Amino acid sequence: MRAFYLILGVVLISIADSFAIDQNAMTNIYGRQYRSLNGKWETIIDVASEGIGRRVFQNRKPQSNSEFFEYSFDGGLRLDVPGDFNSQLPQLKYFESSVWYKKDVVVDKQSDKRYFIYFGGANYITEVYLNGELLGSHEGGFTPFQFEVTTQLKHGDNFFVVHVNNARRLDGIPSLRYDWWNYGGITRDVMLVETPQTYIHDYTIQLMPKYSKEVEVIIQLSGLQSAGKSVTISIPEVKVERQIKTDAGGQAKVSFKANLNLWSPDNPKLYDVIISTSDEKVHEKIGFRTIDTRGSEILLNGKPIFLKGINIHEEIPMREGRAYSESDAAMLLREAQKLGCNFIRFAHVSPFEKMVRMAEEMGMLTWEEIPAWQRITFDNPKTVSTGERMLKAMIARDKNRCGVIFWSIANETRPNIPGRNEALISYVELARSLDPTRLITAAFDNMRYNASTATLTLNDPVADVLDVVSINKYFGWYNPWPVSPDKLKVEIATDKPLIYSEFGSESMYGHDGDVEQAHSWGELHHEQLHRDHLLLFENIPNLRGVAPWVLFDFRSPSRLHQYYQNEWNRKGLISDKGMYKKAWYVMRDYYQKK
């Protein structure tokens, strides 16, 4: 009897475990058996968030003459998914509240399968309902999530209702203020995923850190049969095939040496990797490289590298909407390529998965960030754990992308924000424990200028624990040059690699202005400012990468100059209409010579 309860206990614990795992998104969604739920969804715009009280998610219809419901999706606005709602209708441009989405789905349900609804991303708080019942909720605009629907899904007719609210929140990440458009809604792909009863939930396949030829593989199954199951990993091109058995927790680990042609910007080689069990086969293109630091060098596959970078927002300026499709990714990434970049800082988020994959195929090294932008309420434990979840989800989704070399834990947060140092240091530790194969960084703007020595320094406990320190400084724009650029010394984290992760100024394409006047919003001043920074860069011994702010002019409601800005941040090297500004040529020439 005791043995029976013991076994029952183990079974219950593993069910609970697998349930917990399943709420985190499975890896490599595009390699799964799924049905896209993209397309038109019926919607209700709900400015005052009345829909919860009215139980809109039940989608009820009157059954008697006296019955009525003060809501209905029928005959209403239909919005595109994926796609932010703000850019789909002029009236929604400034909308920051609730939208209800509904989709009818007919399912041929198989009794030997499990089913999940998967969201690539929705901004900012999302509640998902199936056939009138709440499945769960998710906070955060830029990371994927899923809910298992195996028991709730019916054979035949079903309806999903999704409530997305993009109101700014003091306790959110980002918080109330940030310098980009708050595009809300179901902004990324949605799919209904079908898996076997025990399925391959997650796997990590990467070269071990430090210049090494050892590939480490960790595979996690989910389901009642996940213990003691055989799993095979193979890379046919290099004749690797290993069969391993999962442990009691459904995890299998193996490492092996392989003669791999390493991925790099000049050689973006990816291999077809296959993970399989008796029930399932998942394919993915994976590349192998190592990224390390040695003193102030960044080493890619053991060799020093300089990062010729650019900052990119997840926005298509010509459409004035959030980027989400392969053609959007191709447009943005090709422009980075034309500029001569080998490196992209995805600011300030983890962008949609197809963009990260395409960047890797093109040989771009990339930086992903959680949107911990400037003032975050780090003294609120709820906010700190939201950031942790974002970091985990970002790493979980893209840990097999060799192109991603940096996880960034924050942008321009200040040490005097209560709780900030403890929270960020804990994020660094968390990121390292989850992923030892990448470098951890953050961008700082709290540098001090010492006039007597003409030196810029940084004193920040968070910088001390990073692999690579990154600085954002707008000399010639927010701060006048304190001395001429060639006289300025930068002594920041001198024993580590330093990245100049933002610099720039605003200009209107086609308007020359006065080279001396920032307030002329002219291209001549913008161009000269970039030239001046190139002089400064020559003096920074540990500089290992630069990234101008920013590739395209982008929309931001906090830009209030009615003539030159009119809700646009004009720091793009390329205008909102796609025209190259003079500063673009300065950077293109610099990158060609580097």
Q: Which residues bind to ligand GCB, rule: CB under 6 A?
A: 179, 411-412, 445, 472, 502, 549, 569, 571
Question: Rounded distance, CA 385 to CA 378, Å?
Answer: 9
Minimum gap (Å) between residue 145 Cβ and ligand GCB: 25
For residues 98 and 569, which CB has a smaller minimum distance to ligand GCB in the complex?
569
Minimum gap (Å) between residue 542 Cβ and ligand GCB: 21
For residues 201 and 348, which CB has a smaller minimum distance to ligand GCB in the complex?
348
- Please return the burial class of 169, using the count of CB atoms within 10 Å of its CB with bins 0-12, 13-18 and 19+: middle
Question: Rounded distance, CA 592 to CA 56, Å?
Answer: 57
Q: Which two tokens stand for residue 261?
A: 């042609």
Minimum gap (Å) between residue 549 Cβ and ligand GCB: 5
For residues 293 and 565, which CB has a smaller minimum distance to ligand GCB in the complex?
565
Q: Hey, how many other C-beta atoms are within 10 angstroms of the C-beta on 579?
A: 12
303: Cβ–Cβ under 8 A, 6 or more apart, which residues? none
For residue 193, the SS3 value is: strand
Measure Cα distances from 202 to 134, 214, 218, 395 in Å: 25, 20, 8, 12
Q: Are 136 and 146 in contact (CB under 8 A)?
A: no
For residues 123 and 264, which CB has a smaller minimum distance to ligand GCB in the complex?
123
Residue with token string 């990339």: 366
For residues 397 and 571, which CB has a smaller minimum distance to ligand GCB in the complex?
571
Residue type, 153: L
For residues 267 and 479, which CB has a smaller minimum distance to ligand GCB in the complex?
479
- Give residue number: closest CB to ligand GCB: 179
For residues 186 and 469, which CB has a smaller minimum distance to ligand GCB in the complex?
469
Q: DSSP letter string over 221-240?
A: EESTT-TT-EEEEEEGGGTE
Q: What is the DSSP letter of 581?
A: P
- Please return the burial class of 401, using the count of CB atoms within 10 Å of its CB with bins 0-12, 13-18 and 19+: buried
Minimum gap (Å) between residue 490 Cβ and ligand GCB: 17
For residues 96 and 179, which CB has a smaller minimum distance to ligand GCB in the complex?
179
Q: Which two tokens stand for residue 370?
A: 């959680």
For residues 571 and 581, which CB has a smaller minimum distance to ligand GCB in the complex?
571
Which neighbouring-strand residues pair with 115? 194
Question: Rounded distance, CA 270 to CA 261, Å?
Answer: 9
For residues 437 and 472, which CB has a smaller minimum distance to ligand GCB in the complex?
472
CA-closest candidate to residue 217, choices 234, 193, 238, 197: 234
Minimum gap (Å) between residue 227 Cβ and ligand GCB: 47
Minimum gap (Å) between residue 445 Cβ and ligand GCB: 6
Q: Are 286 and 258 in contact (CB under 8 A)?
A: no
For residue 470, the SS3 value is: strand
Question: Rounded distance, CA 476 to CA 473, Å?
Answer: 9
Question: Rounded distance, CA 126 to CA 186, Å?
Answer: 9
Q: Are 550 and 587 in contact (CB under 8 A)?
A: no
293: Cβ–Cβ under 8 A, 6 or more apart, which residues? 299, 439, 467, 468, 496, 497
For residues 160 and 444, which CB has a smaller minimum distance to ligand GCB in the complex?
444
Minimum gap (Å) between residue 233 Cβ and ligand GCB: 40
Minimum gap (Å) between residue 571 Cβ and ligand GCB: 5
Minimum gap (Å) between residue 539 Cβ and ligand GCB: 22
CA 116 to chain CA centroid, nearest Å:
22
Minimum gap (Å) between residue 412 Cβ and ligand GCB: 5
For residues 357 and 559, which CB has a smaller minimum distance to ligand GCB in the complex?
559
Angle, helices 523-538 vs 582-593, to 10°: value is: 20
For residues 549 and 590, which CB has a smaller minimum distance to ligand GCB in the complex?
549
Within 399-539, residue ranges assigned H as helices are 420-434, 461-464, 523-538
Minimum gap (Å) between residue 464 Cβ and ligand GCB: 21
Give, in degrees to the nearest 5, the angle at Cα 143 between 549 and 410: 45
